[in-house]
């Protein structure tokens, strides 16, 4: 059976290119359907014309031409999203490809973002050469730079033909074998938490689970929240939560206000740690806000240049307290088993008292964000303030919520094993609050009161 491919675009300005892509899709073995997203005028030759699209929201093309392009594009987007959603539900779409400039890309990728993960989506646009976060959203959209904004010639025809064959090939991929359908677990990773994540995820895979590891760079966290909302994820090891601190304190890797909420809404098991919460992330050094540069003399604030394009600023203990309050507010509504594991000897490779290559920091001195608790030097003052915030705001009377104080560093094997073991127990229905209290180096926050 030929894969059914939507070929979408603003036809009154990119009609020749869209028609050429459709021809190439057909030659490649697909069944193309041209979907019109025009905002200037209806061309009259599309398989699904502008009038059909706009009927979904009770509009006509004539109304479109009486408003500015911003409003016109908003109407076309709303209508196209609804129209394509119906096609998907009817099983009439196996893939979608579009070509356009900034306007065309904005409309077409909004349609793609509404489509389920797994349906191939390809967007050819010169906007792919810049920041594409708004076009991608949280979906599996392939962005391709087509070199030219418009025009058909021997160069652009080659590029558009490649893309057409690509979308047909993706839409022709076989279904996964049934034996590959294992329960899927989520996990969040950043460079500073890699040893912990790799060990914990390996344990889960050995127990018969599949693990999807998202990069905690903002888009990764938003994608994970979306995957949970969409029902793909059965449980999560939220080891790396630093996107929350970036969102709160102005870093560049924030994941939006809804980070750390989907698992609680869905009632799936979640085991959480403050991985990377010692760092606020920025770009090159000259992009770090002046207010932070003036504070690098403060204990815990320090500056760390990871590479020429990534500069990190340490989180102050008082800021970790504020982050704990924010996390507690989000987790109080959790419906499923929820355990926060707080490693008292550091939250990642940069947050360590002494050099330890196995834990991610080779030295020659301790990690750049480390700050000792004066009363217990082997423990982090940041961890202590974080615990105080959790104790103040988290509802620890609930039987499904627990905080474990762990005398380990984030990247020690024992900490990874604790987190993976907790999640396995939750998934198998045998977890109980307080079940780890008698283990060496582990104490529940309630015990410490």
User: What is the distance between the alpha carbons of residues 305 and 241, in angstroms, rounded to a whole number?
Assistant: 20
CB environment 418-429: b (16+ within 10 A), e (fewer):
bbbbbbbbbbee
**pLDDT at residue 29, as a whole number:** 95
Q: What share of the chain is helix, strand, coil (3-state, %, to 5)?
A: 40, 20, 40
Lowest-confidence segment of 57-66, 109-118, 207-216 by average pLDDT: 57-66
**pLDDT at residue 238, as a whole number:** 97
Cross-strand partners of 405: 342, 443
SS3 of 351, please?
Answer: strand
179: confidence class by pLDDT, cuts 50, 70, 90: low
- What phi and psi values does residue 40 have, to the nearest 5 degrees? -100, -55
Show me where the domains of the chain are located: 4-171, 179-444
- 335 neighbors 270 (Cβ within 8 angstroms): no
SS3 of 374, please?
Answer: coil
Strands 442-444, 401-406: pairing kind: antiparallel
pLDDT at residue 433 above 50? yes
**pLDDT at residue 134, as a whole number:** 85
Q: Does domain 4-171 have CATH number 3.40.50.12020?
A: yes
**How many CA atoms within 13 Å lie on the side-chain side of 137?**
20
Angle at 220 between CA 217 and CA 225, to 5 degrees: 135
447: confidence class by pLDDT, cuts 50, 70, 90: low
Q: What is the distance of C-alpha 22 from the center of its chain? A: 32
219: confidence class by pLDDT, cuts 50, 70, 90: confident
Could you name the CATH architecture of 179-444? 3-Layer(aba) Sandwich (3.40)
pLDDT at residue 112 above 60? yes
pLDDT at residue 68 above 90? no
pLDDT at residue 449 above 50? no
Q: What is the DSSP string of 303-345?
A: EEEEETTEEEEEPPHHHHHHHHHHHHHHHTT--S-EEEEEETT
Lowest-confidence segment of 165-179, 199-213, 312-326 by average pLDDT: 165-179
180: confidence class by pLDDT, cuts 50, 70, 90: low
pLDDT at residue 150 above 80? no
Q: What is the mean pLDDT of residues 220-224?
A: 92
Distances in whole angstroms, Cα of residue 69 to Cα of each of 26, 77, 107: 32, 12, 12
Residue among 427, 413, 431, 416 nearest 207 (CA):
427
Mean pLDDT estimate for the chain: 93
**pLDDT at residue 234, as a whole number:** 96
- 329 neighbors 344 (Cβ within 8 angstroms): no
User: What is the distance between the alpha carbons of residues 122 and 97, in angstroms, rounded to a whole number?
Assistant: 5
Query: Quick one: residue 363, left, alpha or beta (phi over 0 = left, psi -120 to 50 = alpha)?
Result: left
105: confidence class by pLDDT, cuts 50, 70, 90: very high
The single residue listed with the structure tokens 């359907």 is 33
**Tens of pLDDT along 237-294?**
999 999 999 999 999 999 999 999 999 999 999 999 999 999 999 999 999 999 999 9
**Tens of pLDDT along 23-34?**
999 999 999 999
User: What is the distance between the alpha carbons of residues 311 and 280, in angstroms, rounded to a whole number?
Assistant: 9
User: What is the distance between the alpha carbons of residues 235 and 237, in angstroms, rounded to a whole number?
Assistant: 7
Lowest-confidence segment of 150-159, 182-191, 440-449 by average pLDDT: 440-449
Fold match, 4-171 / 179-444: yes
**pLDDT at residue 153, as a whole number:** 85
Q: What is the pTM of this model?
A: 0.81
pLDDT at residue 369 above 60? yes
């Amino acid at each position: 059976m030929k894969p059914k491919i939507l070929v979408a675009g603003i036809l009154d300005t990119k009609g020749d290119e869209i028609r050429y892509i459709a021809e190439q899709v057909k030659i490649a073995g697909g069944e193309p359907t041209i979907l019109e997203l025009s905002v200037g005028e209806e061309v009259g030759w599309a398989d699904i014309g502008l009038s059909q699209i706009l009927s979904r929201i009770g509009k006509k093309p004539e109304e479109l031409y009486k408003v500015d392009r911003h409003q016109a594009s908003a109407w076309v987007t709303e209508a196209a999203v609804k129209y394509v959603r119906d096609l998907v539900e009817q099983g009439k779409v196996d893939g979608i490809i579009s070509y356009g400039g900034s306007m065309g890309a904005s409309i077409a990728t909004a349609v793609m973002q509404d489509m389920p993960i797994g349906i191939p989506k390809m967007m050819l646009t010169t906007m792919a050469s810049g920041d594409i976060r708004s076009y991608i959203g949280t979906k599996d959209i392939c962005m391709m730079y087509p070199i030219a904004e418009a025009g058909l010639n021997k160069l652009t025809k080659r590029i558009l033909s490649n893309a057409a064959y690509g979308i047909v090939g993706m839409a022709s991929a076989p279904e996964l074998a049934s034996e590959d359908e294992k329960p899927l677990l989520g996990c969040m990773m950043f460079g500073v938490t890699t040893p912990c994540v790799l060990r914990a995820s390996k344990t889960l895979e050995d127990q018969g689970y599949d693990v999807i590891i998202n990069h905690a760079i903002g888009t990764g966290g938003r994608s994970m929240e979306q995957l949970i909302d969409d029902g793909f994820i059965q449980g999560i090891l939220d080891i790396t939560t630093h996107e929350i601190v970036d969102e709160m304190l102005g870093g560049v890797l924030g994941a939006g206000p809804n980070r750390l909420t989907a698992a609680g809404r869905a009632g799936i098991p979640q085991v959480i740690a403050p991985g990377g919460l010692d760092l606020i992330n920025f770009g090159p050094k000259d992009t770090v806000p002046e207010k932070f540069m003036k504070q690098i003399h403060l204990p815990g604030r320090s500056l760390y240049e990871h590479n020429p394009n990534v500069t990190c600023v340490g989180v102050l203990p008082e800021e970790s307290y504020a982050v704990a309050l924010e996390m507690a507010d989000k987790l109080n509504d959790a419906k499923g088993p929820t355990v926060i594991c707080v490693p008292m000897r550091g939250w990642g490779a940069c947050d360590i008292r002494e050099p330890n290559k196995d834990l991610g920091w080779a030295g020659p001195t301790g990690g750049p964000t480390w700050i000792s608790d004066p009363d217990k030097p082997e423990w982090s003052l940041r961890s202590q303030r974080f615990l105080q915030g959790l104790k103040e705001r988290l509802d620890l009377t609930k039987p499904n919520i627990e905080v474990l104080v762990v005398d380990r560093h984030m990247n020690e094997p024992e900490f990874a094993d604790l987190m993976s073991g907790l999640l396995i127990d939750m998934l198998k229905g045998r977890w109980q609050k307080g079940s780890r209290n008698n283990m060496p180096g582990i104490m529940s926050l309630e015990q410490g009161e």
